[in-house]
Structures are given as structure tokens and as C-alpha cells.
Amino acid sequence: MARIITDECVSCGTCAGDCPVEAISMGDSQYEIDPDKCIDCGACEGSCPTGAIVEAE
Ligand code: SF4
């Protein structure tokens, strides 16, 4: 299951640079993770200053 970005996202873009498979990009109102690309490595989670990246249930 891919990780997701919650509405805590402030669109700083830090996580996008940390994703090894380029699964993170700016969406309509905040950054989003493409679930088809995400390998659930967790690299992005620690880079988010607001803790907006979480494991999907
Ligand atoms: Fe990219 Fe890994 Fe975050 Fe998935 S968990 S979006 S593969 S950095």
C-alpha cells in the first residue's frame, strides 16, 4: 500500500526531491503521491516538516 499525503501538506516540495522513484508531484492544491509508482520505501516520510506523509490504511 502506498503512502499518502494528508491535508497537513504546505506544498513546500521537500519530499518530492527525496523520492527515489519520482512518485511525488504537485497536484491541484498540494503535493500528491502516485500510488502506481510508490514502492512504499518511506524515504519521504522523514523529510516532511509537517508530518503530512503517512502510511495508507
Ligand atoms: Fe516515494 Fe518512497 Fe515516499 Fe513512496 S514511500 S512516495 S516511493 S519516497
C-alpha to C-alpha distance for 54 and 4, rounded to whole angstroms: 6
C-alpha to C-alpha distance for 4 and 32, rounded to whole angstroms: 7
Q: pLDDT at position 46, please?
A: 94
Instruction: Give yes or no for residue 13 having a pLDDT over 90.
Output: yes
**How remote is the CA of residue 45 from the centroid of ligand 1, in Å?**
8
> Measured from the CA of 43, which atom of ligand 1 is nearest?
8
Q: pLDDT at position 12, please?
A: 97
Instruction: Give yes or no for residue 57 having a pLDDT over 90.
Output: no
> Measured from the CA of 19, which atom of ligand 1 is nearest?
8
C-alpha to C-alpha distance for 49 and 57, rounded to whole angstroms: 21
Partners of 4 in the β-ladder: 54
C-alpha cell of 16?
A: 518530492
**How remote is the CA of residue 34 from the centroid of ligand 1, in Å?**
9
**How remote is the CA of residue 47 from the centroid of ligand 1, in Å?**
11
The confidence band for 1, taking pLDDT boundaries of 50, 70 and 90, is: confident
The confidence band for 27, taking pLDDT boundaries of 50, 70 and 90, is: very high
The confidence band for 11, taking pLDDT boundaries of 50, 70 and 90, is: very high
Among 14, 24, 20, residue whose Cα is nearest residue 47: 14
